[in-house]
Structure 1
Amino acid sequence: MKFRPYLYILIILTTFTACKTRKPVVANVPDVKKVYQSQLDSFLDVAKQMQPVVLNDSTGAAIPSSFMSTVNFNLRKPNYVIIHHTAQDSIQQTIKTFTMVSTQVSAHYVIGRNGTVVHMLNDYLRSWHAGVSKWGNVTDMNSCSIGIELDNNGLEPFSDAQIKSLMLLLARLKKTYNIPTANFIGHADIAPGRKTDPSAFFPWKTLAEHGFGYWSDEVLEPAPADFDPAIALRLMGYDTSNLTNAIRAFKLHFIQTDTSPQLTQLDLNVLYNVYRKY
């Protein structure tokens, strides 16, 4: 009987430990992998089809056609990197969001506050991260880009560990896919007025110093009197159909301390300096 208190303590500790470790980091991982593999198999089946195109002339008569396979082809590769912040509370919440069919949103990579990198989709596959967006003449950014989500609610600075991992990842992507320096941009750049990520806290200057995107020089040449900011923004890639939104997106990226829709002389000088790099 004298050992009973110790037995009770052991039972309590065992129960507490079990409850503490019971919660998984990612829910339904086996199901997620099963769905991923099933969709991948479906894409492979489509890619393996070798049926000729069926065409008919104006009278309805079939035009002779056949499938003669070429030997010169490969996978399409990404040409842009789009950076986001998750606007969620944790990396676990984001991973759960990206593994639910109902959300219809995803990314290739998610980087946690502690620098942990979660690779969620093969780089050659099309992620659903950009949504309705436009950059230059490209109106389907999902088809030509890699989406990287940073675990951040948009109201706080990004951690050093997170940015360090991001820089290493960007260096790998740039080298692997030969991505141009100008093509490292943010979600707000391609969706002005609709998105604001990766927020004014994001260190675009640091990225530019390492070859991922551009930044203005320390010494700025004054913009000429006939300088047209709308044309400059459009040539950089911004959608200027709503000029106010385009200006805000530009300032969120390149000014950061002020995101108002008005362009000061300093803003014009920065815009003139940056646009000449593109």
Structure 2
Amino acid sequence: MRPILIVLHYTAMETSEAALDRLIDPKAEVSAHYLICEDGIVYQMVDETMRAWHAGAGSWQGMGDINSRSIGIELCNRGDHPFAESQMAALCSLLPEIMTRWSILPSGVIAHSDVAPTRKIDPGPKFDWQRLAIQGLTVWPDEESGYDTDLQCWTQHAAAIGYDMAEPDAVLAAFRARFRPWAKGPLDDEDVRRSERLNKSCMI
């Protein structure tokens, strides 16, 4: 299939060398199209025209088989610390090239946790999604006000964005990791407001 998504991951490994060894090991049965190290070095692991095993089971906007619909980018990071400046700069250079080649919209640049919220949390709350959005490389909720804050609207908005709502609690965690990493506790009005604002711009 033609890629319509770019899925971002973290490696959850101690070193770039360990991540690279795993991603080229056939026995591991996992890889991605690109690996970006902390120092900004980019390795292409799989040709963009080929299917890489990076996403596993999941769905987005009602579509399954994410591996066949996406380009996977792994970022060397354990998940418990901010992503290096050189690494983020390399990602921000690589993304527009891929997006242009495949006509992928900013709304198609998503997290592994978005497509598999019950299994995955990467790239996690330490990843700077807002930086990407400022450069037009993904989406971010605007700051407009005056939207309906009925909490019953949450499922509708999140599903329209693309989330599979079979497990709402897992989806809320994934949504917050990307758009409100500081938020705690049960669903609140701000979750609903942000999801509704995103709903306007996230249709692929």
TM-score by length of 2: 0.94
Checking the alignment, whether the CA contact within 8 Å between 2:7 and 2:71 is kept in structure 1 is yes
Q: In the TM superposition, what are the counterparts of 1:223-238 in structure 2 within 5 Å?
A: 223-225=148-150, 228-238=153-163
Matched, 1:277 2:201: yes
Q: Return structure 1 stretches of 4+ with deviation > 2 angstroms.
A: 218-227
**Distance in 1, Cα, partners of 2:162 & 2:70:** 15
106-115 or 243-252: which moved more?
A: 243-252
Give 5+ residue unaligned stretches, structure 1.
1-75
For these two proteins, the number of residue pairs brought into alignment is 202
**Distance in 2, Cα, partners of 1:100 & 1:87:** 17
Give the match for residue 73 of structure 1. Answer: none
**Distance in 2, Cα, partners of 1:204 & 1:224:** 24
Secondary structure of 1:84's aligned partner: strand
Matched, 1:209 2:145: no
Equivalent residue in structure 2 for 1:127, among 46, 49, 52? 52
Give the match for residue 36 of structure 2. Answer: 111
- Could you tell me which amino acid in structure 1 is paired with residue 164 of structure 2? D
Give 5+ residue unaligned stretches, structure 2.
none
Equivalent residue in structure 2 for 1:99, among 21, 24, 33? 24
**Distance in 2, Cα, partners of 1:197 & 1:163:** 15
Give the match for residue 78 of structure 1. Answer: 3
Secondary structure of 1:124's aligned partner: coil
Equivalent residue in structure 2 for 1:221, among 146, 153, 172? 146
- Using the TM superposition, give the Cα deviation of residue 258 of structure 1 relative to its aligned residue in structure 2, in angstroms: 2.1
Checking the alignment, whether the CA contact within 8 Å between 1:134 and 1:238 is kept in structure 2 is yes
- Using the TM superposition, give the Cα deviation of residue 218 of structure 1 relative to its aligned residue in structure 2, in angstroms: 2.8
**Distance in 1, Cα, partners of 2:145 & 2:39:** 36
Identity of aligned pairs, percent? 31
**Distance in 2, Cα, partners of 1:77 & 1:269:** 33
- Using the TM superposition, give the Cα deviation of residue 247 of structure 1 relative to its aligned residue in structure 2, in angstroms: 1.2
Bigger Rg, which one: 1
94-103 or 147-156: which moved more?
A: 94-103
Give the match for residue 155 of structure 1. Answer: 80
Secondary structure of 1:146's aligned partner: strand
203-212 or 127-136: which moved more?
A: 203-212
Matched, 1:268 2:187: no
TM-score by length of 1: 0.70
Checking the alignment, whether the CA contact within 8 Å between 2:52 and 2:72 is kept in structure 1 is yes
